[in-house]
Structure 1
Amino acid sequence: MIFRPATRRAALAAWDVLCWLVAAVLATGARYDFAISEVQWTSVLTFVGVTAALQVVVGYASKMYRGRYRVGTFDEALGLALLAVCVALVSYVAFVVVLHTDLPRGVALLAPPIALMSMASGRWVYRLLRARGLGERQPATRNVVIYGAGDAGYQLLRLMLTDRASQYRIVGLIDDNPGKRNLRLMGVPVIGNKESLPEAAIAADADTVILAIASATGEFIGEVQDLVEGAGLEFLVLPPLNEMFGRKFRLGDVRKADIADVLGRRQVETDLGAIADYLAGRRVLITGAGGSIGSELARQVYKFGPAELVLLDRDESELHAVQLSIYGKGLLDTRDMVLADIRDADALRAVFEEHRPEIVFHAAALKHLPMLEQYPQEGWKTNVLGTLNVLSLAADHGVRRFVNISTDKAADPTSVLGQTKRLAEQLTAWMAERVEGSYMSVRFGNVLGSRGSMLHTFNAQIEAGGPVTVTHPEVTRYFMTIPEACELVIQAGAIGGPGEVLVLDMGTPVKILDVAKRLIARSGKEIDIVFTGLRPGEKMHEDLFGGSEQGVKTAHPLISHVSVPPIEPAALEAYRAEGAML
């Protein structure tokens, strides 16, 4: 049976009153064998009435009976102990020291600890009964082994045992810590470690393994996934920590592992204080806010409470999508949703004059390498001249912090995309020398799941029955998930200096062929792989640093910085005239 919160809290208060009564009677019996005078019995009952009243009044005032704590938790035990001590001290001073009543001192000393133990015991029994899931439950349809007996594993186990809609039956835990070999959590034993995982899961009659390590690396997830699926079992994971930031973990968060879990999932250490200092209460403009990076930047910046968040894009449908994801509505009837093209300097000027942004994240760009090889002038207009428009207006309107989103293709560029983004970095460095504040660029490689990305292409090809096209069997790329990249971009904005290019640590390059093979294996289909050859301007292996660049570590372990030679706008046309690719 499930009680309303008010009923449950009233029941707790009534239980505590009963505990004081029982404690006083037990103390009297234990100390005096109930052989006290009628006057003393009157004092004992008066003592019970006063302590019970104090317990309820002080407990209500301290919110003990207003849902301050979850019942049966360690935090509640500490609060309950403090409350009982306060009630006991007040009662003892009143009855023994000040009023000199006939209350036996033994009762005043023994009753409080007995009452406290009784109150706590009742709560722990209640929690135990809930943990055992009393009440009608859905029939279990999956036998599950949880990999990870730490905090995340315990939370998942507790949710599965207490959620009456859960269809999971927990048959064991897996953990690599030798000290947990004999551990039992809520009655569920640790049955093995990574090496014995397939055999232990099969012996326990499990059909599903859930990895409950939210901070697991992509490499580790890939290894466990191969073990589990190689044994014919289903493999599920918890979301990474950055996906659960600022909210409670839910049973519905458990999901199938995808390629982004394997290639990404590095834990990003974020200095929340530094980020809040430069974002909270500020007017922030994000260009390209409808794109994959821009929209995720918008969602993350929004969490830090900017005074105004202005989202600019030339695609109205994408603006609708990002507004819906942040605000839960997509009416597009507010002035902070701006439909404009960064090529249009006059339209941009009106935006800057109206909103007066203090911080700009410049994510608007054309990014598809083969398309820009065919239409280099479009890349020039958007990535170079459009960036110059945004930089110039930011400088004219006193923007204090400007973060230009760049790409690893700007390091020793061999393509139109790389050249135009390199020029955008140089223009940012030039502007940084002429303004107060920090104007910088942030450079990183491929992001998983962005629109038109390799993953979307591979999945569409697999869905269509193949073949999957890969340019070259040895080609490699750096990968990072969109949330990881955006979190580091925001962090870089807090620590970057004027004119710097901050380079995000992308980990180890990944062979595209291996990604294609893993996706095909997950699909369960027989799909051919066809090699199409490198496209014009495309590198076999990308670099995060140019040949003449030397990365220097910053205060953040995943961010380095390099210097780029500035280029003034007047030199652009000469560069363009000399550039064979432009």
Structure 2
Amino acid sequence: MSEGKETEPKPRLWLWSQYFLDAFSWIVAILLALLLRYELDVSRISWLAALSVMAVAVLTQIVAGYSFSLYRGRYSFGSFQEARLLVVVTLIVAVTTSIFLFVFINQTGIGRSIGAIAFPFACMFMAAIRYLKRLYVEGKPRPDEAAQRTLVYGAGFLGNSLVNRMLQDPHSPFFPVGLIDDDPAKKHLHLSSVSVLGRGEDLPEIVRRTHAKVLVLAFADVESGKVREISDAVSGLRVRVLVLPPLKKMLEGGFADFRDIAVEDLIGRRPVDIEVERIAGYVTGKRVLVTGAGGSIGSELCRQLTAFAPSELMMLDRDESGLQATQLSISGHGLLNGRDTILADIRDEHALKEIFNERAPQVVFHAAALKHAPLLQQYPEEAWKTNVIGTLNVLRAARDAGVDTLVNISTDKAANPTTALGHSKRVAEKLTAWMAQQTGKTYVSVRFGNVLGSRGSMLPLFSQQIRNGGPITVTHPDATRFFMTIPEACQLVIQAGAIGTGGEVMLLDMGEPVRILDVARQMIATSGKDIEIVFTGLRPGEKLHEELVGYLEVDARPLHPKISHTSAKTLDPALLEYRAWRQRCLDEAGGPVIDLESSIADDDPLAKGA
């Protein structure tokens, strides 16, 4: 019992003071009502009766207010929720006093209308007290002198909430000195004494005038193009640009949730709306095998697939360290002693057939591949062995094992290919389409561009170059690429397996292409170092601007807004001929993008699709 008494919350002084102020408001309101009722003739007022009416009003106020939690601290002081409740409680008090006057009319000698006349005055007085107190509370705290002068871009709901938080927290590291908004209607708007100083185009001048050190983007879903525009506008002004987390996290957390602009913000990737029911239908309870499970894409695929509860997840790779890392991320251990990890090379046709026949997978995600274009351009035979013959080995093993669904992961470089990598992945797409035609099963290919953060990709390379002190190497100042985060790429790969039909090539929407130079500059700015950028020139076969849709390919999106459907020409494996393929790779490296299909003679061994 003693413990219970110690932990029982005590009434707070300000709640009681709030009640006494409300009671005082009723006393003043009734006095005004009496003066108005009797036209300022105080001699006609029965003061004893008046005191009894005031007592009834005061007692009813505390009973009704406490019953409706008005004096229990459950509502923010001066909030709209409290204001609505205040009107209800005040109305109850007015009705009660009117009933009292009606019942005891002969004893009081006071008009029955006093309660009705006093009601609006009481509401006004109580609301005024709350408003004045709110002004005092909000105006008193200010960040200390160490707080950084901050501009807030966006004068909407988020901007208003942000400015209030900055001003009300005396320990805030940010002090708002102005607002930026592109809406002309908000030109002279003031939010908590902070005014809108101009539009985005005025940013450099406003930064200089206010001596701001921080710019916070108060947008719910800021577009990547807008982030790049703002970042470029303040470039060189020594202004730190911060973005907000999602609204839910912002409301739950503090100022530590603000973060610097990331490359993802410049690229503009957003969460994908996955149709969980469709995915659950072809993955849940099924035996699923992922090739290349030790790589960046393969490992994330495995992690996401576990959420759909397959009956068995088989992770296949020739890289034992990669397999161990993937197993560790999923199961919490890297013992490599279970049936979930399979050490094998997709170049080994015999080993693959044995594994597929023994383990009988029902769904296969083929992520194993060689992907570095410049290296494969020097050693095209390796691209042929892994990306072409290795894929064919997987397809044949899947056919013989009766696999129902196979998703072959391709690349945007397969669209109008000009490199050994692009040509090898293009052939893999056509082999997949041919096998889908032969089996009648859902064998599809999925094509997307560069994946942010994948092993050996541009971002880790830039990060390492920055750590080494530079320079950052960029091929061309105008070169652009499509980008996608690893989780988003894997989400759409899984989704494609649910909505694709046999032989299709699914093109994942990569958003707008991003200039590589902009990414390099942003990473340098974030690092705070002075890093040189060196242009190395386009490499053999490298395109200035990548494409997702190839020549004569359609861009239809019948089922998912981020997945286009097109068809791939089939290629009979009997027509594969390495020397002709290799010669085409060498001939077209660095050349113009042309109609590859019509440029080959009909008697060429690859004329039917490679």
* Same-fold call, TM cutoff 0.5: yes
Give 1:247 deviation, angstroms. Answer: 8.0
| Residue 455 (1) aligns with residue 459 (2) | yes
Q: Distance in 2 between matches of 1:11 and 1:493?
A: 63
Deviation at 1:448, TM superposition (A): 3.0
Answering whether residue 237 of structure 2 is matched by residue 236 of structure 1, we say no
Change (3 A) 1:25 1:6: farther
1:27–1:107 contact (8 Å) kept in structure 2: no
Deviations 1:221-277 (A, max 9, x none): 2332222123x2223131576x98898565223333344433x12667x556x4567
Contact kept? 1:24, 1:107, Cα under 8 Å: no
Measure how far apart 1:182 and its partner are.
0.4
Look up the SS of the partner of 2:240 in the other structure.
strand
- Offset of residue 144 of structure 1: 1.7
Cα distance between partner residues in 1 of 2:279 and 2:11: 42
Contact 1:448–1:480 at 8 Å: present in 2 too? yes
1:481-508: CA deviation from partner (whole Å, max 9, x where unpaired): 4465456556656765554323234355
Does the 8 Å CA contact 1:215/1:265 hold for their aligned counterparts?
Answer: no
User: How far apart in 2 are the matches of 1:244 and 1:558?
Assistant: 25
CA distance in 1, matches of 2:249, 2:337: 29
Over 3 Å counting, the alpha-carbon distance change for 1:114 and 1:352 in structure 2 is: farther
SS of the aligned residue for 1:223 comes to helix
Deviation at 1:563, TM superposition (A): 1.4
**Partner AA of 2:481 in structure 1:** R
Unaligned runs of 5+ in 2: 1-6, 36-46, 106-110, 586-610
Inter-partner Cα distance in structure 2 for 1:125 and 1:450: 56
- The one-character-per-residue Cα deviations of 1:115-173 (angstroms, maximum 9, x if unpaired) are 766776676667656644738x5542422222222333334323333444422222111
- Counterpart check, 1:54 vs 2:73: no
1:85 corresponding residue in structure 2:
88
Greater displacement, 208-217 / 483-492? 483-492
> Which residue pairs with 2:607 in the alignment?
none
Task: Please say if 1:547 is aligned against 2:551.
Answer: yes
Cα 1:504–1:154, aligned 2, differ >3 Å: closer, same or farther? farther
Q: CA offset at residue 181 of structure 1? A: 1.0
**Distance in 2 (alpha carbons) for counterparts of 1:121 and 1:8:** 27
Distance 1:424 1:181, change over 3 A: same
Q: Distance in 2 between the 1:283 and 1:257 partners?
A: 41
Q: 1:149 aligns with which of 155, 167, 174?
A: 155
Residue pair 2:216, 2:244 contacting (<8 A) in 1 also = no
- Partner SS for 1:580: helix
Instruction: Describe how 1:311-350 pairs up with structure 2 within 5 A.
Output: 312=315, 314=317, 330-331=332-333, 338-340=340-342, 343=346, 345=352
Task: Give the Å deviation of 1:473.
Answer: 6.4
User: Aligned letter for 1:422?
Assistant: R
For residue 545 of structure 1, report the CA deviation from its aligned partner: 1.7
What SS does the corresponding residue of 1:229 show, helix, strand or coil?
coil
Q: Relative to 1, partners in 2 of residues 1:365 and 1:88: Cα closer, same or farther, differing over 3 Å?
A: farther
Compute the displacement of 1:442 (Å): 3.0
Check if 1:251 corresponds to 2:258: no
For structure 1, list consecutive stretches of 5 or more residues without a partner in the other structure. none
Structure 1 SS opposite 2:172: coil
The aligned residue for residue 231 of structure 2 is 225
The farther-off stretch of 163-172 and 435-444 is 435-444
**Whose Rg is larger?**
2
Residue number in structure 2 paired with 1:198: 204
Q: Is the 8 A contact 1:388 1:424 kept in 2?
A: no
Matching residue within 156, 165, 168 for 1:159: 165
Any residues of structure 2 matched to 1:101-500 within 5 Å, and which? 102=104, 106=113, 109=116, 131-132=138-139, 134=141, 139-230=145-236, 232-238=237-243, 248=252, 250-262=254-266, 264-265=267-268, 271=273, 274-275=275-276, 278=279, 282=284, 287=290, 291-293=295-297, 306-307=308-309, 312=315, 314=317, 330-331=332-333, 338-340=340-342, 343=346, 345=352, 363-373=367-377, 374=379, 375-376=382-383, 377-380=385-388, 383-386=391-394, 396=403, 404-426=408-430, 429=433, 440-471=444-475, 475-482=479-486, 485=489, 496=500, 499-500=503-504
Which 10-residue stretch deviates more, 193-202 or 18-27?
18-27
TM-aligned CA distance change 1:545 to 1:154, over 3 Å = same
User: Percent identity among equivalent residues?
Assistant: 36
Partner of 1:580: 581
CA distance in 2, matches of 1:277, 1:106: 67
Tell me, in whole angstroms, the C-alpha distance in 2 between the residues paired with 1:386 and 1:440. 13
Q: Is the 8 A contact 2:293 2:299 kept in 1?
A: yes
1:17 positional shift:
5.2
Taking a change above 3 Å as real, the CA distance of residues 247 and 55 of structure 1, as seen in their structure-2 partners, is closer
Q: SS of the residue aligned with 2:166?
A: helix
Q: Does structure 1 retain, via aligned residues, the 8 Å contact 2:451–2:489? A: yes
How many aligned positions are there?
545
- What is the distance in 2 between the residues matched to 1:298 and 1:8? 54
306-315 or 183-192: bigger deviation = 306-315
CA shift in 2, pair 1:176/1:71, >3 Å:
same
Counterpart-to-counterpart distance in 2, 1:121 and 1:319: 68
- Aligned-partner SS, 1:209: strand
Q: What letter matches 2:534 in structure 1?
A: I
The answer for the alignment partner of 1:25 in structure 2 is 27
CA-CA distance at 1:71 after TM superposition: 6.0
For 1:526-555, what per-residue CA distance to the aligned partner results, in whole angstroms no more than 9, with x for missing partners? Answer: 6362526524x6445432122231222446
Between the aligned partners of 1:572 and 1:279, the Cα distance in structure 2 is 33
1:579 & 1:518 partners in 2: Cα distance?
Answer: 43
Provide the alpha-carbon RMSD of the alignment.
Answer: 5.2
Quick one: which amino acid aligns to residue 176 of structure 1?
D
Tell me the secondary structure at the aligned position of residue 544 of structure 1.
Answer: coil
| TM-score where L is the length of structure 1 | 0.72
**DSSP-derived class of the 1:171 partner:** strand
Letter in 1 for 2:173: Q
